[in-house]
Amino acid sequence: MFKKTAIAASVMMMSITTAQAETTYRIGITQNNVGVDSYQTTYERAFEAAAAREENVDIVVLDAGGDVARQIGQMQDLIQQRVDAIIIWPTNGQAVIPAIRQAHSAGIPVIVTNSKIAEAGMEFIAAFSGPDNVQQGISSAEMMCDALGGEGQIVQISGQPGYTTAMERAGGFEGRLAEACPGVELLETQPGNWNRERAQRVMEDFLTKYDHIDGVYSGDDNMGVGALNAAKGAGRADDIIFIGATNFAVGYDAIARGEYYGSIYQSPVDDAEAALQTALDVLAGEDLPKMNFFDTPKITAENLEEFDRPVF
Amino acid sequence: MASTEQTKVGVPSGKLSKAGVLSFLSAQGILIFFLIGMFVFSFFSEQFLSQSNIMTVVRQASIIGIIAVGVTVVIIGGNLDLSVGSMLSFSTVLVVDLHDKIGPTNAILLMFALTLMIGAVNGFLIGFLRLNSLIVTLAMLSAIQGFVLIYSGGQNVDIANQENTWFAFFGRGFVGGIAVPVLMFGLLAIVIQVVMSYTGYGRRIFAVGGNPMAAVYSGIRKNWCVFSTYLISAFCVACAALVLGSRVMGSQNNVGQGYELLVLAGIILGGTSLLGGAGSIWKTVIGVLILGFIQNGLLLMGYPYYIQWIVTWVIIILAVWLDLANKRKRLFTSHS
């Protein structure tokens, strides 16, 4: 944290002393919780790399450590520093709205990245850039339907309770499944908290509770692999279709081994690059849609080779 | 074991009064509550009392149980260890990451050595420098988590060849029909219970936790005693990391987050006082199993996650209350 502030300070000094300071955009980013998960860590590196490739961009990189209060403080810091644009990965889609509004009133465009904010804040942001999690849930439901041939009983292991991504994926999945595949019954949903060990425990309990499970939908592959482990332990993995989202390296490998049916390919590198590009487009005054989704295709054994093995 | 249990069911002296009944209820309250809970759960879910479910719950509870056994020793010695969750993340990430780099045997040895080193730092600061254990282990919780993030670069670690490593034995193996994690849990609990109850060393830990001043005057080397309890705690964490890493065949760098609370919950449910000088490993085992069955039962009944947490903590607070009521020999305090 201190190191990052120091870097931020030195970046600031550099931009003041550089002759071409007028033409350089200074973009501040406050992230959610880098370091706790591989996705966010990879995102940060990709963001820094992408910014380094742009000649006229200086960045101030901050991380809220999952703490809403700290993120609001960081927003205020960035407003004080009069950066040209702020990218925010919201720790909480509701609580950050006042800070976003403050930036908006100060004339600094705000770009929300990766996770959406609540509807009430949408009028204060310049643009959103990120994955369409509802669409991801829909895609997963379609894969599940295909894999089961429209008939069966499934369970769901969702992400962190209260986290927008988790709710959107679950919502998209459940809605589409009911609509496109009425023959597939969703027996129960329990959260796995994006944690493989927790997901494994939940799945063990599901396996006890239900004698017959045809499929499992997990909010990400990390949990999906936990569910797979549990089913393998119970000797029931061959009877169950596993479908996840956010393809992790372990999920990719499991698809390659034929143990895991499919997932949604979501690259943190695409995510980071899209966020920076959206910010630059906003600064260039381009006419952008408010919601800028990057592509998150379905990935199964059939098209596995078209995708690189995820680095996380 | 009798010598180690200082609080016992109050035998009504003279008249068999309301207080006598109350004190019996308060001492055995959590057990009664547990039995009622088991009955209710089995009523709502026919699988609850099935052999396979019981095996599953005990296996799931093993990781928390193994750690709780070690932390119970620390607590009996009059201190706390809140750093066990972070240590679990550290040790699990380490053993999983090193598995592919230097082979399972070396990885396990190195992981045990480094985990014991963290225990030694805790023990030195608390035992010899006499710093407050709550503060030290809380600070270690953050420091170790920071170290894990630096070490792992924020990335998950996975064992590449999961099908072909004997490392799987610790989390997924069976010996004589019993899951290895359960076996490790049971073995550790028995050994440490015996040490605490029947050796001079165990008695010294009780003495240090019960009345440190008296212990020092009676010639006990208190510093070393406290130091050693943190080594025991670290050793147990290392064992738990072995089980966790092998069970999941990978690790997230925050995998142990929150374990310190679950461990404490299990210990408190078992009736070990956080004030030190009293408690038993056996009761901790029961407490951890109760915790496991509550969570499993609520999940089998299909309750949402939030409800599971609320009910779990309501039961824990109830247990603390009953424990205190037992010591006061009444359920409610008579004056403010």
User: Which of B64, B158, B180 to mutate to test binding with chain A, by most A CBs within 10 Å of its CB?
Assistant: B158
Chain centroid to CA B19: 32
CA angle B245, B47, B271 (to 5 degrees): 65
What is the token pair recorded at A159?
């992400």
ipTM attached to this prediction = 0.78
3-class secondary structure per residue, B70-103: HHHHHHHCCCCCCCHHHHHHHHHHHHHHHHHHHC
User: Rounded to whole angstroms, how far apart are CA atoms A290 and A123?
Assistant: 10
* Amino acid B275: pLDDT: 85
pLDDT at A20 over 60: no
Question: Contact A205/B255, CB-based, under 8 Å?
Answer: no
Least confident of A173-187, A298-312, B188-202: A298-312
pLDDT digit string (tens) for A87-144?
999 988 888 999 999 999 999 999 999 988 989 999 999 999 999 999 999 999 999 9
- Cβ–Cβ < 8 Å for B282, B1: yes
Q: Number of Cβ pairs closer than 8 Å across A and B?
A: 70
* Amino acid B74: pLDDT: 97
User: Rounded to whole angstroms, how far apart are CA atoms A57 and A24?
Assistant: 6
Q: What percent of chain A has pLDDT over 70?
A: 93
Report chain B residues touching chain A, CB-CB < 8 A: 45, 47, 50, 52-53, 56, 60, 149, 153-156, 158, 172, 244, 247-250, 252-255, 296, 299-300, 302, 305-306
Nearest Cα to A228, choosing from A209, A246, A250, A247? A250
**Which residues 6+ apart lie within 8 Å of A183 measured at CB?**
A150, A151, A152
Question: What's the Cα-to-Cα distance from A158 to each of A161, A162, A203, A295, B198, rounded to whole Å?
Answer: 8, 11, 12, 22, 48
* Amino acid A254: pLDDT: 94
Instruction: Return the half-sphere exposure (C-beta side, CA atoms, 13 A cut-off) of residue B206.
Output: 21
Average pLDDT, chain A: 90
- Cβ–Cβ < 8 Å for A202, A175: no
Backbone angles phi, psi at A139, to 5 degrees: -60, -40
User: Rounded to whole angstroms, how far apart are CA atoms A203 and A224?
Assistant: 10
* Amino acid B12: pLDDT: 41
pLDDT tens, N- to C-terminus, chain B (336 residues): 344 444 444 344 445 566 666 656 555 556 666 677 778 788 887 788 888 888 889 999 999 999 999 999 999 999 999 999 999 999 999 999 999 999 999 999 999 999 999 999 999 999 999 999 999 999 999 999 989 988 988 788 888 877 788 999 999 999 998 999 999 999 999 999 999 999 999 999 999 999 999 998 999 999 999 999 999 999 999 999 999 999 999 998 889 988 999 999 899 888 888 888 888 898 899 889 988 988 888 888 888 888 888 888 887 787 777 767 766 767 777 665
Q: Is A37 on the interface with B (CB under 8 A)?
A: yes
Q: What is the DSSP letter of A173?
A: H
Query: A220: which chain B residues are within 8 Å (Cβ-Cβ)?
Result: none
What is the token pair recorded at B245?
């890493």
Query: A233: which chain B residues are within 8 Å (Cβ-Cβ)?
Result: 172
Question: Contact B248/A188, CB-based, under 8 Å?
Answer: no
Distance, first Cα to last Cα, chain A:
23
Q: Is A222 on the interface with B (CB under 8 A)?
A: yes
DSSP alpha helix (H) spans, chain A: 2-17, 38-53, 68-80, 97-105, 133-148, 164-180, 196-209, 221-233, 249-256, 268-283
Q: What is the DSSP letter of B333?
A: -
Q: What is the rounded average pLDDT of the residues A48-58?
A: 93
Nearest Cα to B255, choosing from B53, B70, B62, B94? B94
Pairing of strands A291-293, A127-130: parallel
**Which residues 6+ apart lie within 8 Å of A41 measured at CB?**
A34, A35, A312, B153, B154, B155
Nearest Cα to B308, choosing from B284, B283, B291? B291
- Cβ–Cβ < 8 Å for A171, A205: no
Instruction: Return the half-sphere exposure (C-beta side, CA atoms, 13 A cut-off) of residue B12.
Output: 13
Closest chain A C-alpha to B264 CA, distance in angstroms: 19
| Window A:261-290, CB contacts with B under 8 Å | none
Q: Is A38 on the interface with B (CB under 8 A)?
A: yes
Distance, first Cα to last Cα, chain B:
36
Residue that has been written with the tokens 């409610």 in this structure: B332
Question: Contact A38/B53, CB-based, under 8 Å?
Answer: no
- DSSP string over A272-285: HHHHHHHHHHHHTT
Count CB neighbours of A61 within 10 A: 20
Burial A233-267 (b: 16+ CB within 10 A, else e): bbeebeebbbbbbbbbbbbbbbbeeebbbbbbbbb
Nearest Cα to B146, choosing from A72, A130, A36, A160? A36
Query: B64: which chain A residues are within 8 Å (Cβ-Cβ)?
Result: none
The pTM for the full model equals: 0.81
Question: What's the Cα-to-Cα distance from A98 to each of A29, A72, A93, A117, B27, rounded to whole Å?
Answer: 17, 8, 11, 11, 51
Q: Give all strands (DSSP E) within chain B, no chain letters.
A: 157-158, 174-175, 178-179, 250-251
* Amino acid B7: pLDDT: 41
Would you call A245 helix, strand, or coil by DSSP? coil
User: Rounded to whole angstroms, how far apart are CA atoms A205 and B308?
Assistant: 14
